[in-house]
Amino acid sequence: MAVLELRNVTRRFGDFVAVDNISLGIEAGEFFTLLGPSGCGKTTILRMIAGFDLPDAGQILLDGKDVTDTPPEKRPVRTVFQSYALFPHMTVAQNIAFPLKMERLPSDTIRRRTQETLEQVRLTDKANFYPRELSGGQQQRVALGRALSSCPRLLLLDEPLAALDAKLREEMQIELINLQRDVGITFVFVTHAQDEALALSHRIAVMRQGHVEQVDEPSKLYGSPKSRFVAGFVGHINMLEAEVVEAAHGHTRLAIAGLGEVAAPPVTGIEAGANGAFAIRPEQLHIGIHGEATELKNHFPGVVSNLLYCGDVTVYKVKLAGGQMIEALLPNSAPGRAQFFKAGDAVSVGWRHDAGVFLHE
């Protein structure tokens, strides 16, 4: 049974529908992420799960029990906010012990749980420090400790890493993964950063304008996006307008506007004549010298328009014969890749017949 279930949840603000008939199930022990651009309804969903806001329609179930109208303090749910919201006049240990005191637990239980939590968030040596004496990352860990000390069924995290600089953010991402694995509590994480969602989550729900577009594991979301929106929002991708020429069992042929026909992976449920986009990741493209023999079935001439040297990789922007700009990402250390191209070079851009995905309109 799912720990958390949203059934047809809707939230309106006046005429505006912020969350539109969403249904989701989140399993015990999952690191589940709500990912989407600003304003798509992520925080509104989190607030309804916590009980700070009520749906206009639908139900919220925790361990199968309807909690739609249960007040926040009666739900086994804690939230970590981006702002940490620590009590400045309390020490680290007092902040972490606070929810346990609110639950009126016996003092030896409070002492034991506080100690265990301090160890979990690696702050035992900072127990008597005040929040102002800590770094941003340490304050973040206090906020996590305070939310976890009472062993909630669900931990909600609303963009908790957004205020941190890139290096600290990466460190905290690893800490979050380890912490979630160690405590085994179900995390519902909100972010608009797709790289963060891919790095942290067991599953991701991609949201757009109050709707869920796709729920999947990170690798499926990246490798098999089901819509143009998901393909474009999660990672970089090239999209070429295409029409289905032949859709047979085991293979598909597409006509790409201005280029010609390509072999593509099979797509179910489409027929010849269907329009859509052929989407392919920059790292799935190969670049070779124009006119040189290639084993790739799909290859087209183009001219390098720009290149961005990034140390480990180079990103080539190539103008194809059909006029489309396409982005290819090549590792600089790949064996046998002595060939580097420069702006203005005539090249051949190719890809394997099993690479890319056709996205029906």
Residues that bind ligand ATP (CB under 6 A): 13, 18, 36, 38-44, 192
- CB nearer to ligand ATP: give 42 or 203: 42
- CB nearer to ligand ATP: give 206 or 304: 206
Nearest approach, Cβ of 6 to ligand ATP (angstroms)?
Answer: 14
Q: Let me know: does 60 contact 53? Beta carbons within 8 Å.
A: no
Nearest approach, Cβ of 251 to ligand ATP (angstroms)?
Answer: 40
Nearest approach, Cβ of 151 to ligand ATP (angstroms)?
Answer: 27
Q: Let me know: does 160 contact 81? Beta carbons within 8 Å.
A: yes
- CB nearer to ligand ATP: give 40 or 287: 40
Nearest approach, Cβ of 358 to ligand ATP (angstroms)?
Answer: 29
- CB nearer to ligand ATP: give 187 or 278: 187
- CB nearer to ligand ATP: give 81 or 129: 81
Nearest approach, Cβ of 40 to ligand ATP (angstroms)?
Answer: 4
Closest residue to ligand ATP, judged by C-beta, is 43
- CB nearer to ligand ATP: give 205 or 304: 205
Nearest approach, Cβ of 21 to ligand ATP (angstroms)?
Answer: 15
- CB nearer to ligand ATP: give 54 or 346: 54
Nearest approach, Cβ of 4 to ligand ATP (angstroms)?
Answer: 17
Report which residue type is found at 86: L
